[in-house]
Structure 1
């Protein structure tokens, strides 16, 4: 009795990938997965490779630039900028979990990934998304204190408090997602084909054999959704108070436009990307063109990592002045 679909096994055998499973006690144990998201890109794979490589370099440049500016400039060692630094680091973390493997897949004729690396990539993708929500929630809290409770801001947002909030925004998703991935790793799988460009936990769980108990996986998945949905409600609550405060004062409206608009832009972009991907994974039609399915899946890794450092870099006065200062200094040095 085999523990995976015969169609999946035949497809791997046709490609000469017999090492993708291991026979143990007459049961096939999955050792490799096939990512089928690139099946329709053979005609323009070189163009896609060049474009993705340049885009990934752009992501690295923008995010590392913001991080280094904040680290090196003592004037930017304030809670808002420290949280922004953490935000850009998370962008680097998530994109590094996807782009290097994706670039290798564009070089290869078959897009395989080992069982262990697939679980690791699923962990990185999900923890990246959850960290993004957590950091956005902490940034909303910071703006709420700065605008709605300015007299208490310095006493509340101490260095210790900021460190605790950053640890919360990273440590909590890591713990929750570790539980999710460990529960997935115990499942017996009856398939090896993942219809995506990268591994995600839900796609692996869908490959579980009929007799496998996925109840714990579903419970932890819904628990995770509830936790981060509550983060979203908290962000909405803070902005209700922010808007109520800002309409009363012209100075507060200026502060809101300077510091909160970038946060809202990041939040909106992220929510749209996540909702599209979640709706497609849960309820989406497989009849959609593969290129559109790929874009929906990649949207969270395409738009926020580039848009966030650009929006914050242009909108936040101190960072913009620091960037312009570096540019003018370079120009003066040349002359």
Structure 2
């Protein structure tokens, strides 16, 4: 292996799709505009309507903010690389993108776990909901969902920053991934995998257990409730469950690509799997909550109705 330290990596996923890069640029630009528009609309509706200043909607708002954060860490660089002739990304930007995309994914799961706990309290302890899910507690849960992943992943990421990369590094994805980067380091990385597994345990397992715990108790309460209460609980939980399933699909795709040999899988399938993780989740989430949640849907409809009437020309009768 060449011992010369490298500062630029080649992203071959873009080279493979070179013949259609202008079409892809247009599609990605459209998707980015949709992600920004949908999530900003969701944030604006929740922030402007006092009736929606409740824990459940505040958590949805944070989910939308994280969607904007994650897509911004991926899509602008994607648009630039699509129009590039060399499809190269600098080491500093690759490292920034790794931290950006990974923290987005972990924060997403933490917010989903907190939302699951919120549904558990609302359904299992409806009379005590406002005392249990008070504003101070809500703020603490939101702070935990953001600060805990950022600080803990920064500790792990510090190990990656110490690595040295030699020779020509070719990255077979649309964005930089920590595991792929570590595999191609020319310095010792034996401790890195162990630290990575410990980090995953601390970042993901408690939140997974919280979601399982919440829905186990919700299911138990629903079994003892009337049919009307069961339908109401189901309507409340469906958007959150869809978001968890959507996130899990993207997460499993990403883990499968990073940890297992996918050489036998079509390159196009691998690209789609990679895009699902960073592109479809922030696009689907606002659609899920905008369409499935009646309160949000009603306020969005009112906003567009007011906008429609405000844009209508005024007719003056003589």
How many residues in Structure 1 have an aligned counterpart in Structure 2?
A: 309
The answer to whether the Cα contact below 8 Å between 1:122 and 1:199 also exists between their aligned partners in 2 is: yes
Q: Extract unaligned runs of 5+ from structure 2.
A: 314-318
Q: Say if 2:299 is the partner of 1:322.
A: yes
Residues 32-60 of structure 1, C-alpha deviation per residue, up to 9 Å, x if partnerless? Answer: 11111112111111111111100110000
User: What is the SS of the residue equivalent to 2:5?
Assistant: strand
1:159-308 maps to which residues of 2 (within 5 A)? 159-191=135-167, 192-209=169-186, 212-227=187-202, 228-247=204-223, 248-308=225-285
Cα distance in 1 for partners of 2:76, 2:98 equals 15
Give the TM-score, by structure 2 length: 0.93
Q: How do residues 1-335 of structure 1 correspond to structure 2 at under 5 angstroms? A: 2-3=2-3, 28-191=4-167, 192-209=169-186, 212-227=187-202, 228-247=204-223, 248-333=225-310, 334=312
> Which runs of 4 or more aligned residues in structure 1 lie more than 3 Å from their structure 2 counterparts after TM superposition?
none
Deviations 1:156-207 (A, max 9, x none): 2111111110111111110121112210111122342211111111111011
Q: Which moved more, 1:220-229 or 1:89-98?
A: 220-229
State the Cα distance separating 1:235 from its structure 2 match.
Answer: 0.5
Partner of 1:37: helix, strand, or coil? helix
Query: How far has the Cα of 1:297 moved from its partner?
Result: 1.1
Superimposed CA distance per residue, residues 9-36 of structure 1 (whole angstroms, 9 cap, x where no aligned partner): xxxxxxxxxxxxxxxxxxx222111111
- Listed as ranges, the gaps of 5+ residues in structure 1 are 4-27
Q: CA deviation at 1:132?
A: 0.7
Q: Counterpart of 2:164 in 1: which secondary structure?
A: coil
Q: Which has the higher contact order (CA 8 A, sep 6+)?
A: 2
Deviations 1:72-106 (A, max 9, x none): 11111100000000001001101000000000011
Q: What secondary structure does 1:30 align onto? A: coil
In the TM superposition, residue 142 of structure 1 has moved relative to its aligned partner by 0.4
Q: In the aligned structure 2, how far is the partner of 1:61 from the partner of 1:224?
A: 34
**Contact 1:147 1:252 (8 Å CA) reproduced:** no
Aligned residue for 1:97, secondary structure, equals helix
TM-score, normalising length from structure 1? 0.88
